[in-house]
Amino acid sequence: MSRGSGKGLSLKDKLDGNELDLSLCDLNEVPVRELAALPKATVLDLSCNNLISLPSDFCSLMHLVKLDLSKNRLQQLPLDFGRLVNLQHLDLLNNRLVTLPVSFAQLKNLKWLDLKDNPLDPVLAKVAGDCLDEKQCKQAAVKVLEHMKAIQSEQDRQRQRKLQAEREMEKKREAEQRAKEALERELRKREKAEEKERRRREYDAQKAAKQEMEKKTKKETVHTRKPASSSRPPQPLRHKPSWSRSVLRVLLFVLFCILCTLAACKLTELQHQPLCVSVNTLYEDVVAALQNHKTLQSMLQHNSHQ
């Protein structure tokens, strides 16, 4: 195996029973694929290398029982590190870890843990305590697992509360949406009823107007037909215009006769007859009298203008 790459020399040459020692190999990365091909290697030593992080597929090495990652430069462990459920012994001495992934709580078979010489979060550091002997390292494993389980439970509760809040919010939105839809349906129903009532009033108004028009037309028709079919105007009103017309006819006839007599006496040979001489003399006297009477003359002028 060449330094830094983890490739070259076969890992089988490093395998001793179920133990695989890759310490002090100046590794920058873990040869996960080659390790996965050696399920018998349940004890893996990767201490004293240059590992900054572990690849996510490292957690597929579920056959590991003992893992030594001490004296590297690990800043964090993979989020699904808890998949290594068969892990019993874990050495993380002298790395750069601050926290552990929540999935760490799933390492139910973990019996031994060393977290010394890491810049741990104060709470986690207090929980882990020292690992100066076998007893302290076993206690560290138990206490850290309990601590991580508590964190996991709290996160689960937070997720549940968040999920419950989201469900309640969703129910509230659904209720508001249903209320809004119900209100919209009620408004549409009310508008439809108002529109129907408006059309009904318009229909009634049109019908009433039509009936009124028919009644008025019928009444006018009756009044129009009444003079032709009913009795004539009262007799006194009928006799009065007839009497006036008769008098007017008599006067016109007398005037016509006078004019004819004057014309005969003025224009014919009868003007020398005694009767025509009298008529002509009377006509000239009347004309002279009318000309000398200013009032009558004004009246005659006014009548002539009309």
Q: What is the pLDDT of residues 91-146, one digit of tens each?
A: 999 999 999 999 999 999 999 999 999 999 999 999 999 899 999 999 999 999 99
> With 90 as the cut, is the pLDDT of residue 80 above it?
yes
- Listed by start position, the domains of the chain span 12-155
Of the two residues 254 and 20, the one the predictor is more confident about is 20
Kindly report the average pLDDT of the chain as a whole number. 85
Of the two residues 14 and 127, the one the predictor is more confident about is 127
Q: What is the pLDDT of residues 48-67, one digit of tens each?
A: 999 999 998 999 999 999 99
pTM here? Answer: 0.56
- CATH, domain 12-155, list 3.90.1640.10, 3.80.10.10, 3.30.460.40, 3.30.470.20: 3.80.10.10
What pLDDT band is residue 18 in, cutting at 50, 70 and 90?
very high
> With 70 as the cut, is the pLDDT of residue 298 above it?
no
Rounded distance between C-alpha atoms, residue 189 and residue 194, angstroms: 9
User: How much is the average pLDDT of 170-179?
Assistant: 91
Predicted pLDDT at 137? 96
